[in-house]
Amino acid sequence: MALAFSLVDTWDDGKRIHVCGTVAASGNYTTGGDTLDLSQFPLVASEQPPTVGTGWMDGLAGYDYVFAPGSAINSNNVKIFQQAAAAGAFPELAAGAYPGAITGDTITFYGIFKKLQ
């Protein structure tokens, strides 16, 4: 797996489940984005991905990490974009080995999940 999630904190606000964690990149990036599986944490207690528009990712190395919920909690997608003057505004990272700036980046994740009824 090229993207691995580590849980940092989770809480229940009475309506939704909030999840914070970090993401580590290794191996190769795939054009169109890599899968981010969040299913290994029973604390989320949901088979659904975060509510659309409520999954955020940030890093410190100058790359833009865009989280897109999948059809299930184990099929979310993360696209990575980079600044490159010659390539235009924020082209997608090319397929291939993750650069050291990404594998060494501090990538954070915050998502809000529907609470099971």
Place of tokens 């980046």: 105
DSSP H or E segment with residue 42: none
At 54, which amino acid appears? Answer: T
Tens of pLDDT, residue by residue over 23-71, are 999 999 999 999 998 887 666 656 677 776 678 899 989 899 999 888 8
Q: What is the pLDDT of residue 46?
A: 61
Domain boundary assignment for the chain = 3-114
State residue 15's pLDDT score.
86
Virtual CA dihedral for 66, 64, 36, 48, nearest 10 degrees?
Answer: -30
Q: Are 16 and 112 in contact (CB under 8 A)?
A: yes
For residue 83, which amino acid is it?
Q
